[in-house]
Amino acid sequence: MTARILVVDDVPANVKLLEARLLAEYFDILTAADGFKALEICESTHVDLILLDIMMPGISGFEVCERLKADPRFAHIPIVMVTALDQPADRVRGLKAGADDFLTKPVNDLQLISRVKSLVRLKTLSDELRIRAETAQNIGIEDMLKGMDGRDEPRQVLLVDGRANSQERIIKALKPVANVMAMSDPQAALFEAAENSFDLVIVNANFDDYDPLRLCSQLRSLERTRFLPLLLVTEQGEEEIIVRALDLGVNDYIVRPIDPNELVARSITQIKRKRYNDRLRVNVRQTIELAVTDGLTGLNNRRYLDSHLRTLFNRAEARGRALSVCITDIDRFKQVNDAYGHDAGDDVLREFAARVRATVRGADLACRYGGEEFVVVMPDTDAVAAGVIAERLRGLIENQPFVIRSSGIAVNITASIGIACNAAGAETPEQLLKQADKALYEAKNSGRNRVVSAAA
């Protein structure tokens, strides 16, 4: 794992020490002697993580952190405060400023390296999601996604704690900011986390006969809980457990005795990050859906057809099953546009797609092929059955006029349809489509408003 790390400290000896430790792990290191220089570096070059001193001349680490986290360009960069301040109030202030963690001087080597690697892994994931999500902004769905990140929804926390008195203290601390479900059985908690929606799981390492890292590992292994933030509660001085936990993918830790304010701050930080990444995942998923969906009709587009038809064709061939393709074209569609305008033409296309969707079965694939052409792929359907379905669609188009929404005018529409089945000798999906297209051409040339099947 490699990353570019910015070390910010006004004491040269501290900078050299951290630089030497990180270079030994093959990280790329940048350094700054004050907060202003750190901000300049972030403006001018890519940074993956910042190790930030608090007490510096000119501008404190707290203010540097607040400025970076307030800027959308840098808000995703993890910041670790490295400081001699070890009071809970200082940690809470740093976390509220946006810091992801604290390391107290003198820095423990194991905690430094494990914390850096853990945060770099999280940033790599977040960066990948952000890059993919940029496509959504470019094609204009960002407004559609606003409000889908759940920032206004109540926070849900699952607490796994073996002792009732400890559960009570943590629930009391988090009550103002989250709904907490407490469980003392780790395996039951694993099932609960997988079956329900939580923003954070807190695992208290106070079990007498159970290794809490086992639960953390299982949560990271399950698909449903892989990205669920984990916060470990452990004893002071248990560096080995903390390092192993971070290597397993635990997001953060807090040591006993727990400061309620720090617990709240760390929990909110993890929940905010989860909801941000959840929003990015929704964004990416929506982008993928839009990439294979026709924006006007809501049917799948030609890109999806080209990919999925091959899958269906190969499956039918391997199983020795029938597969039929139907291509339908709106007759004299240009006359609709010329007479009533392109908005009216769009109304007709939308309604035509709705009738196609109403005619096909659940297993069939309906796509807008382009312009006024639509394709329906029918698995496990021979030419005779495909002809029945196509004739039903043709009648549905002809027998009910299309109403133009803007004017209320009813327009009579007909469609020509060509059908081809893999039994006719097509060796590839492209040949199958070509056969159906030839049948469509014949339907058009022989008078329109009819169904023609490709010859076997």
- Which CATH number describes the domain made up of 302-453? 3.30.70.270
pLDDT of res. 137 = 52
Q: Which of 115-124, 343-352, 394-403 has the lowest mean pLDDT?
A: 115-124
Condensed to tens digits (0 to 9), the pLDDT of residues 325-353 reads: 999 999 999 999 999 999 999 999 999 99
Known catalytic membership, residue 239: no
Summarised one tens digit per residue, pLDDT across range 249-299 is 898 888 888 988 889 988 988 898 888 888 877 776 776 677 788 889 999
The reported pLDDT for the residue numbered 413 is 96
165-179 residue pLDDT tens: 999 999 999 999 999
- Residue 391: name the closest of 453, 444, 435, 433 by CA: 453
Per-residue pLDDT averaged across 40-49, rounded?
A: 94
Spatial CA neighbour of 418 closest among 376, 381, 368, 359: 376
Domain boundaries, the chain: 1-107, 149-287, 302-453
pLDDT at 100: 85
Residue with tokens 């309604």: 351
Question: Is 170:267 a contact under the CB 8 Å cutoff?
Answer: no
Q: What pLDDT digit, counting tens, does each position of 293-327 carry?
A: 888 999 999 988 988 899 899 989 988 899 999 99
Q: How far apart are CA 194 and CA 224, in angstroms?
A: 6
Contact (Cβ atoms closer than 8 angstroms) between residue 173 and residue 92: no
The average pLDDT across 73-97 equals: 83
CB within 8 Å of 362: residues ≥ 6 apart:
none
Question: What average pLDDT is seen over the chain?
Answer: 88
pLDDT at 1: 56
Q: Is the peptide bond before 401 cis (omega within 30 degrees of 0)?
A: no
Q: What is the CB-side half-sphere exposure of residue 292 using CA atoms within 13 A? A: 12
Percent of the chain at pLDDT > 90 equals: 58
Query: Is a pLDDT exceeding 60 seen at residue 213?
Result: yes
Residue with tokens 């997988």: 194
- Which residues, listed in sequence order, are joined to residue 254 by a DSSP beta bridge? 233
b/e per residue 242-253 (b: at least 16 CB within 10 A): bbbbbebbbbbb
84 vs 64 pLDDT, higher one:
64
pLDDT per position as a tens digit, 14-39: 999 999 999 998 899 999 999 999 99
Predicted local distance difference test score (pLDDT) of residue 234: 93
Q: For residue range 135-166, list pLDDT tens digits in order.
A: 445 444 344 334 444 456 789 999 999 999 99
Please determine whether the domains at 1-107 and 149-287 fall in the same fold group of CATH: yes
Radius of gyration over alpha carbons of the chain, in Å? 30
Q: One of 19, 262, 351, 372 is an active-site residue; which one?
A: 372
Answer for the pair 52, 61: CB distance below 8 angstroms, yes or no: yes
Could you please state the CATH topology (level 3) that the domain comprising 1-107 is classified under: Rossmann fold (3.40.50)
Q: Pick from 165, 198, 164, 169: which is nearest to 183 by CA? A: 164
Pick the CATH number of 149-287 from 3.20.20.60, 3.90.850.10, 3.30.300.30, 3.40.50.2300: 3.40.50.2300
Q: Are strands 179-183 and 156-160 parallel, antiparallel or unpaired?
A: parallel
Which sign, positive or negative, has the C-alpha torsion 189, 194, 196, 197?
Answer: positive
